A and B are shown apart, each in its own frame.
Chain A
């Protein structure tokens, strides 16, 4: 069992990009350009780390491998969409990540005692909801891409293309507020800022439009879900059950 515990700890540590970014921002006093204090910026990146831990999705890679190896076949003839299995796997892994994420947060506050804060219960609740909605959006986007396996066999290559805007526009590397105004207008029309930037701002106590953000998250889910259903239904007609 030791190898599993180490693996889970490594997953948690692998998501520490926000801390590297925090270091770059504070070392270069970049926060002054966007009028955010050091403390609020630290909290933002800590929250970005938390949101990322509980919204990261890798279903495209799992489904691609299972599909190419023929492992999807037994799942397809069960009265449950195979994506529910992947969904459950993601949720289970999120639960196992939780204690490790807490340990990392503990050390973060030891090194940044000024950043310590306790969000009020309603904000905490809304942040959990928002993080879950962010997870749903990412899961749906990746599931749609994963279904392209039925046509291209290498859907993960398309996912890599999506990773670039996700990295830059989601708020993982920089809060979206730091982008020029005309770019921000366009960014807020995409699903990307609602993946990390919005829930992280909400949890860290930064100024944000809570109703607008949650509504956009729900809107994206309503747009993506029927698209997933359609592509799934068309894709399974193309399934050749190769490798089995």
Chain B
């Protein structure tokens, strides 16, 4: 049986924030009588993650995804509740815990700006107590996986964003962590670089059985990497489960565009009991429920003279978008 590597119980986090009115009057008022209030950004959440799982955290901006990741890796202190990651309390930042994890934040870098990445790799290797031989071996292995070579010897400030991101990943993975916290790892990367990064993460997960917690606004990252997603809405979990179940629940119908040979067939189709979305000349778009798609298609192909047929999945961004904007979305699965 696969063990839980992350166990979160009734976790909450509050921040104190102060507000200031504009202008000199507001500044003076702010100086002498500052208005502060406590803002609860994470509200009593609980979940577990199993070893080797890749879990995507979905949510709108400010929903609390990054705050959850920051608490899981021990960067910030929780206000209430408990977190156990690999058997450790993350905020205590014990050496053995830190040697087991890594955090990668898109656009935030740990590489030394003016030096080639290789220098940062060896520095990180020393921090994680790796000897030079072992460090060299791991740099070689990871650079092959990431397909970087000459870039290792060029100052970081002269690298492209994609090359820099790959180098960041190498620096963050040199100690071969078991748990990866990735906050928007593909932010700002072009499509090819995004795809390569996803391929790398899949390969790393497969080879090392590492657990990956990921946040991303690119749905392709989520769909190609994560079987399970946790949707966060205003600091609370609105869904925790399989991604395909969520998609089925949120989009129970498919749209089928049928191009008929004659307008007569279009009229016949319109009157045959299907739900029609729209109709233009000899083209008609029907909405058919997922569970009856095979039988409906059989009926259509047997009884009508069809020239062409297209099955359209609703765009995933649109579907997931529904979860992100709706509070208390009724998504309950067993």
Contact = CB atoms under 8 A, between A and B. Distances in A.
Interface of A: 70-71, 73-80, 236-241, 244
The 4 closest A-B pairs by CB, nearest first: A74-B110, A79-B98, A79-B95, A237-B77
Could you tell me the dominant secondary structure of chain B's interface residues?
Answer: mixed
A241 B127 contact: no
Interface string B56-70: 000000000010001
Interface of B: 15, 66, 70, 73-77, 91, 93, 95, 98-99, 101-103, 105, 108-110, 124, 127-128, 172
B93 A76 contact: yes
Nearest to B70: A241
A244 B93 contact: no
Given A237-B77, A239-B75, A239-B76, A79 B99 contact: yes
B182 to A, nearest CB: 13
A243 B127 CA distance: 25
Nearest to B77: A237
Contacts of A244: 66, 105, 108
Given A239-B76, A241-B70, A75 B93 contact: no
A78 B98 contact: yes
B127 A79 contact: yes
A239 B109 CA distance: 18
A79 B74 CA distance: 12
Contacts of B95: 79
Contacts of B172: 74
Contacts, number: 53
A237 B93 contact: no
B98 A77 contact: yes
Nearest to A74: B110
A73 B102 CA distance: 11
Nearest to B127: A80
A77 B102 contact: yes
Contacts of B98: 77-79
Given A71-B108, A244-B105, A78 B127 contact: yes
Contacts of B108: 70-71, 73-74, 244
A240 B15 contact: yes
Given A73-B108, A78-B124, A239-B76, 13 more contacts: A70-B105, A70-B108, A71-B109, A74-B108, A74-B109, A74-B172, A76-B93, A77-B98, A78-B127, A80-B127, A237-B77, A241-B70, A244-B108
Contacts of A237: 77, 91
26 contacts: A70-B108, A71-B108, A73-B105, A74-B103, A74-B108, A74-B109, A74-B110, A74-B172, A77-B93, A77-B98, A77-B102, A78-B127, A79-B95, A79-B98, A79-B99, A79-B128, A236-B93, A237-B77, A237-B91, A239-B75, A239-B76, A240-B15, A240-B76, A241-B76, A244-B66, A244-B105
A75 B102 CA distance: 11
Contacts of B93: 76-77, 236
Given A70-B108, A241-B70, A241-B76, A77 B128 contact: no
Contacts of A77: 73-75, 93, 98, 101-103
A73 B127 contact: no
Contacts of B109: 71, 74
A73 B101 CA distance: 13
A237 B91 CA distance: 8
A75 B75 contact: no
Contacts of A71: 108-109
Contacts of B105: 70, 73-74, 244
A241 B75 contact: yes
Contacts of A240: 15, 76
